[in-house]
Structure 1
Amino acid sequence: MFIIVAMYDEVKYYLENNNFELIQNEPFKIFKHKNNFVAISGIGLVNATIATTLICENYLNDDQILINIGLAGSIEDNFDILDLVLIENSTFSFANATGFGYEKGQIPKEEKFFANFNNEFVKQKMNKIKFGNLASSDIFISDYNSAKENFLGFPIKIDLLDMEANAIAFTCYKFKKKLISLKIVSDILKVKIDNESQFKNILELGSKKIEMVLTDFENILNY
């Protein structure tokens, strides 16, 4: 199983409780335990793209699935904090070439959005999982009204926001690699609480939830 996350803190408990060893330090950290690998890409679209490119070129074969997991913010209050959400489709938050006939979120001459691999398999195997679409950008979006306005007219309904997932999806698509993206809800824009504070307060609990999810995934994929 090969996992990519943005921050060490998101997988701290999974790494430390399973005796992972650091096997690569630069240009980004990779940890290994038995047949499981965890890459820490760093935050943002560029870091995620670089890390995913190198993983696709050097580690993944055609049968393997890349697992992206991490924290994400919810726009509406239809999710609860710490909900596990399977991302069905993803796009970019601020790509806008509509003047040339493209959809919002679409890079010119590329796909309108990117679908995860084999969602039906995950839906059948995972318990207490919810589903949603996600948009990624290099901006930590914290204002509910701005988010609602920005995502009007997108080809898919946007439920969650992060800073890496669609860059990973875009890169996997280019390399014809399989991706499953799972997110833990860290903050809710519609709730009138400072979102940066929500995120910081939930990081520890989110890391513990991620450890449980990845342990389940090991059993599901039989790796």
Structure 2
Amino acid sequence: MKLIVIPTLEEAQQLIKKTQTLSVKKNFLTLYKLSSDYLLAITRIGLVNSAMNLTWIINNYDIELIINLGTTAAVNNNLKILNTVLITKATYLDANNTCFGYEFGQIPQEKPYYSLTKTQVNYIENKLSTKLDFKLATVASSNSFINKEKLSFIHDSFPYIIDVVDMETTSLWNVANNFGINFYCIRVISDVISDFDNHLKFSETMTEASKKIFDIFIIIQNSLD
């Protein structure tokens, strides 16, 4: 079974509506059977919710592939609202254990970051690039909605460029990695951090972003093995 994980119902609304899928309530989350091959889970906002819910799903279903869809905020000003990004590298924005010799963004005893191999990037590009316009991006995930006040901190904290920020991807990838399951993340830009009112743009963009998330799922469903 392939698993689509999306943080919120708002992001998944068009996908749920247009596939006319049936929902099944499982303890603290709702699952949707999109097809015979694809299961959808709304894993909720935040690092803990994402990790907890994905772990429960993996322990109760035979999951062979995890694909995270949703929205993300752009730190890189070359990215515009409703652009699509393939996340090739993910780290934690609020993990600072450098005094113990860990890299910034690294949870103790976990990887400094999670990244796609060149083979994985080539696989997605070969399968999707003729049907979906996307850019490659590095994400930093935290438990906070980020605004422009955090821009200097983001730029100064990492030895590599952070393109986007969100509240789930790294914890989802962390769990998938520990269970040995392939993980891909494709996100739609909902807002740009340098904008003064990016939290308002996030809300305004959601309907169009949800439509785009549905389109991305259809391309994935028809393209990936």
Using the size of structure 1 for normalisation, the TM-score is 0.93
Counterpart among 118, 123, 135 of residue 140 in structure 2: 135
Distance in 1 between residues matched to 2:167 and 2:34, nearest whole Å: 27
What residue ranges of structure 2 are gaps of 5+ in the alignment? none
Measure how far apart 1:74 and its partner are: 0.4
1:32-181 equivalences under 5 Å are: 32-35=33-36, 36-61=38-63, 64-116=64-116, 118-127=120-129, 128-143=133-148, 145-181=149-185
Contact 2:154 2:162 (C-alpha < 8 Å) held by counterparts: no
Report what 2:210 is aligned to. 207
* Aligned-residue CA RMSD (Å): 1.4
**4+ residue stretches of structure 1 with deviation over 2 A?**
145-151
Distance 1:183-1:33 versus aligned 2 partners, 3 A rule: closer
Measure how far apart 1:25 and its partner are: 4.2
**Identity percentage over the alignment?**
28
Report what 2:200 is aligned to. 197
Distance in 1 between residues matched to 2:93 and 2:9, nearest whole Å: 24
Contact 1:90 1:134 (C-alpha < 8 Å) held by counterparts: yes
Aligned length: 218
SS at match of 1:152: helix
AA matched with 2:33 = K
Contact 2:76 2:162 (C-alpha < 8 Å) held by counterparts: no
SS at match of 1:16: helix
AA matched with 1:158 = I
Contact 1:93 1:151 (C-alpha < 8 Å) held by counterparts: no
Report what 1:18 is aligned to. 19
Distance in 1 between residues matched to 2:147 and 2:9, nearest whole Å: 23
